[in-house]
Amino acid sequence: MAAIEEQGAAMGRPNGSPSGGPTGGISSRLSMQTRRLLWVWGFLALPILFYTVIRFYPTLQAFYLSFTNWDLLRPAKLVGFANYIKLFKDPQFWKVFKNTFTYLIVGTPISLVLAFAIAYFLDRVRFMHNFIRALYFLPFLTTAAAMAWVWRWFYQPPPIGIINDVLGMAGIPQQPFIRSPDQALFSVMVTAIWAGLGFQIIIFMAGLRAIPSTFYEAARIDGLGEWAILRKITLPLLKPTTVFLVVFSSIGFLRIFDQVYNMTTNDPGGPLGSTKPLVLMIYQTAFNSYAMGYAAAQTVVLFVILMIVSLLQLFILREKK
Amino acid sequence: MATIELEKLVKRYGKVEAVKGIDLSIADGEFVVFVGPSGCGKSTTLRMIAGLEEISAGTLKIGPDVVNERDPKQRNIAMVFQNYAIYPHMTVRQNIGFGLYTSKLSKQEKDKRIEEAGKILGLDDFLDRRPAALSGGQRQRVAIGRAMVRDPSAFLFDEPLSNLDAQLRAQMRIEIKRLHQRLKTTTVYVTHDQVEAMTMADRIVVMKDGHILQVGTPSELYESPVDVFTARFIGSPSMNLIGGKRSNTGVEAASGGDILIGIRPHDLAANPPAQGDGIRLTGTVTAVEPLGPETLVHLDVDGTPVIATARDKSVPAVGSQLTCSAPSGSLYLFDARTEAFLGRS
């Protein structure tokens, strides 16, 4: 039993309990093995308890609720797959589904390429390096609500909206941005990308710094150009970092909510639902329509999407032996 | 194949001069070892030859051409680094082949060269493995293989054996030397290990504080070092130094004298015969290091630590008084003030 449990443990950990030793009392009556197990499980109990109550129980509860018609007032009644059938027949769901994947498929690559490019060049800048890095990181520290409101201003028509002002100076006709069903989603996406950029740059830079400089020197002596070094050495060696950021950023875009909600407060997810992501739909179903069962079914769908996308990415980007 | 000429080569980092105008000419096919303590400028010099560091002043010629302003790739040199610099995401074959990345050879020709290098270095069975599956010595061989396939005009080694354990280091030393005898490519090798310098070099360059102290064959450096620093740096254990003065019969130990007497531990025999010329020292045994065929005896001679060699099997007791002697002819004399070499006695 104990031997089986040990298999997963890291080697070379100190395995005696601090309370060990022949001091009498309860501890001396138990074997060393038992005392060690008690000690280990004592520490593990707290997070396990926390996760069970705070995470796993509500998750399972959501799965259960998705099969009910609970609306906060009447007791929940099991309705089978009715919520799911309704969802898949709901045109609004497919619209939202498409929006969510547009955020994911367009947003993730753009934000990663942008973050990598900035990190790659910032890594070579010595002048005011820390200051510039801090500037990029600042949006990550800012509240989404405040940030979204500032960007709403940017997107306003002239003379309030600075972007339209600049466009006007360049002789380009003014754009509706978040007022247009065609442009709103991308306008929100820009804000979301900008907000996450700082974090991704920091992680990319850490990854770049971890590559030994002799790798580059050896490549220079072997006669590789900048582009070949980037393609043959930097990018392959940066792969673990990239995998992490792809998954992390994808999950972020699949769960996008606060930027959308704050930039379209008059009509959340508008105009005409053109910016609405899945999480906002869930929020509205649950807390505007109070259709808890239906909202739970939507969260289960989101859960499945997140899981599939993450596993797929980990599989595609896995280390090939 | 090429000669390498350094003329008044200087490297400055801001106001600090790391290399202070050194002159050296390396013949075609020669194996030159730069040796010196950390921070003496030996690696910087090598990196200037490689083109990884800009040259602040002076000229560097490889073959007939001045290459100061050329990129590393245009100098046609190959370099082996201390941490191997082989890529973990490529197989051994790809790593070795990486040296040919820019070459215009055909695919078959490249493969042939890789196979050949693999065979010479004993890596034939590992060509399709990743570096992670190799030992330190094998990794270093991959790095050497990558340098070899290029057929460069010079090999540069930057402390290539420092990350290996003692046994492997001894083995790789011989392998690199054999490789040089086989390829006859001009080689510049940087190390802080005087044993590597002595065993591998055609000529040794001893550096200190950005200057070249002495250039010579290993035996020249061993037999007639220019000063105390070189004398103590070359040879292991380091040369003993005691104060002394000239006398009618030659030299004798004396504190506050105007010369320093250098005696190699190897020449200073414990338990000598009662009579004989040369120098005799008596001191207290502070430690003994039995090495098998001989025993190193650490003595305290009037406050100066001295190492002597006991060749008989008797190991002297720590704390006992011991007399040892070195025959005349084995002594090195230095000026006590300038530390310059005066001659042998």
How does residue B298 score in pLDDT terms, banded at 50, 70 and 90? very high
User: Do the domain assignments include residue A42?
Assistant: no
Q: Does A79 touch chain B (CB under 8 A)?
A: no
Minimum Cα–Cα distance from A213: chain B residue: B85
Q: Which domain holds residue A288?
A: 84-320
Q: What span, in angstroms and rounded, lies between the C-alpha atoms of B162 and A241?
A: 30
From chain A, the residues in CB contact with B99 under 8 A are 222
Minimum Cα–Cα distance from B94: chain A residue: A232
Q: Model confidence over B217-232: pLDDT tens digits? A: 999 999 999 999 999 9
Closest Cα in chain B, distance from residue A112 (Å): 22
Q: Does A217 touch chain B (CB under 8 A)?
A: yes
**Longest distance between any two alpha carbons in chain B, whole Å:** 76
pLDDT above 90 covers what percent of chain A? 29
A173-197 CB burial, b ≥16 within 10 A, e <16 = eebebbeeeebbbbbbbbbbbbbbb
Q: What span, in angstroms and rounded, lies between the C-alpha atoms of B300 and B282?
A: 8
Calculate the CA A176 to chain-centre distance.
Answer: 29
- Asked if pLDDT for residue A209 goes beyond 50, the answer is yes
Q: Does A222 touch chain B (CB under 8 A)?
A: yes
* CA distances from residue B97 to A240, B103, B116, B141, B199 in whole angstroms, order as listed: 25, 10, 11, 13, 30
- Asked if pLDDT for residue A18 goes beyond 70, the answer is no
Q: What is the mean pLDDT of residues A211-228?
A: 88
- Asked if pLDDT for residue B105 goes beyond 50, the answer is yes
Q: What is the mean pLDDT of residues B287-293?
A: 89
**CB contact at 8 A, A115 and A204:** yes
Say which of B77, B88, B89 has its CB closest to residue A221: B77
| ipTM > 0.90 (yes/no) | no
From chain B, the residues in CB contact with A215 under 8 A are 85, 87
Q: Does A159 touch chain B (CB under 8 A)?
A: no
B84 or A319, higher pLDDT:
B84
Q: What is the mean pLDDT of residues A193-200?
A: 91
CATH of the domain at A96: 1.10.3720.10
Q: What span, in angstroms and rounded, lies between the C-alpha atoms of A57 and A64?
A: 11
Minimum Cα–Cα distance from B52: chain A residue: A217
B48 or A73, higher pLDDT:
B48
How does residue A17 score in pLDDT terms, banded at 50, 70 and 90? very low
User: Do the domain assignments include residue A259?
Assistant: yes
Residue of B81, B95, B104 to mutate, interface with A, max A Cβ within 10 Å:
B81
From chain B, the residues in CB contact with A222 under 8 A are 73, 78, 98-99, 101-102, 146, 150
Place of tokens 């769901």: A93
Q: What is the mean pLDDT of residues B269-289?
A: 82
Beta-ladder partners of B154: B77, B186
User: Do the domain assignments include residue A51?
Assistant: no
Q: Does B14 touch chain A (CB under 8 A)?
A: no
User: Do the domain assignments include residue A50?
Assistant: no
From chain A, the residues in CB contact with B88 under 8 A are 237
User: Do the domain assignments include residue A157?
Assistant: yes
pLDDT the model gives residue A1: 40
Residue of B49, B75, B79 to mutate, interface with A, max A Cβ within 10 Å:
B79
pLDDT the model gives residue A81: 86
- Asked if pLDDT for residue B302 goes beyond 90, the answer is no
- Asked if pLDDT for residue B135 goes beyond 90, the answer is no
Q: Does B41 touch chain A (CB under 8 A)?
A: no
* CA distances from residue A296 to A67, A69, A90, A137, A299 in whole angstroms, order as listed: 8, 10, 15, 35, 5
pLDDT the model gives residue B274: 63
Q: What span, in angstroms and rounded, lies between the C-alpha atoms of A159 and A162?
A: 7
**CB contact at 8 A, A151 and A186:** no
Pick from B195, B41, B266: nearest CA to B49: B41
User: Do the domain assignments include residue A57?
Assistant: no
Q: DSSP label at B342?
A: E
- Asked if pLDDT for residue A4 goes beyond 60, the answer is no
How does residue A20 score in pLDDT terms, banded at 50, 70 and 90? very low
pLDDT the model gives residue A16: 47
From chain A, the residues in CB contact with B150 under 8 A are 222
pLDDT the model gives residue B311: 85
pLDDT the model gives residue B297: 92
Q: Model confidence over A108-167: pLDDT tens digits? A: 999 999 999 999 999 888 888 889 888 888 888 888 888 888 998 898 888 888 888 888
DSSP per residue over A152-201, as a string? HHHTSPTTT-HHHHHHHHTTPPP--GGGSTTTHHHHHHHHHHHHHHHHHH
Query: Which ranges of chain B does DSSP label H, i.e. alpha helix?
Result: 42-50, 92-98, 107-120, 136-149, 166-183, 194-200, 218-223, 228-233
Q: Does B162 touch chain A (CB under 8 A)?
A: no
Q: Are A221 and B98 an interchain contact pair (Cβ–Cβ within 8 Å)? A: no
DSSP per residue over B260-309, as a string? EEEE-GGG-EES--S--SSEEEEEEEEEEEE-SS-EEEEEEETTEEEEEE
Q: What is the mean pLDDT of residues B100-115?
A: 86
- Asked if pLDDT for residue B51 goes beyond 60, the answer is yes
User: Do the domain assignments include residue A56?
Assistant: no
pLDDT the model gives residue B221: 92
Pick from B47, B21, B71, B1: nearest CA to B209: B21
Mean pLDDT of chain B: 89
Record the tokens describing residue A136, joined without a space. Answer: 């990029």
Number of domains in chain A: 1
Q: What is the mean pLDDT of residues B140-164?
A: 89
pLDDT the model gives residue A24: 53
User: Do the domain assignments include residue A65?
Assistant: no
Record the tokens describing residue B142, joined without a space. Answer: 């991959």
How does residue A10 score in pLDDT terms, banded at 50, 70 and 90? low
From chain B, the residues in CB contact with A223 under 8 A are 72-73, 101-102
Give the relative orientation of helices A91-122 and A278-287 as an angle to the nearest 10 degrees. 130
Pick from B306, B258, B266: nearest CA to B282: B306
How does residue B214 score in pLDDT terms, banded at 50, 70 and 90? very high
Q: Model confidence over A44-91: pLDDT tens digits? A: 998 999 999 998 999 999 999 889 888 888 887 888 888 898 889 888
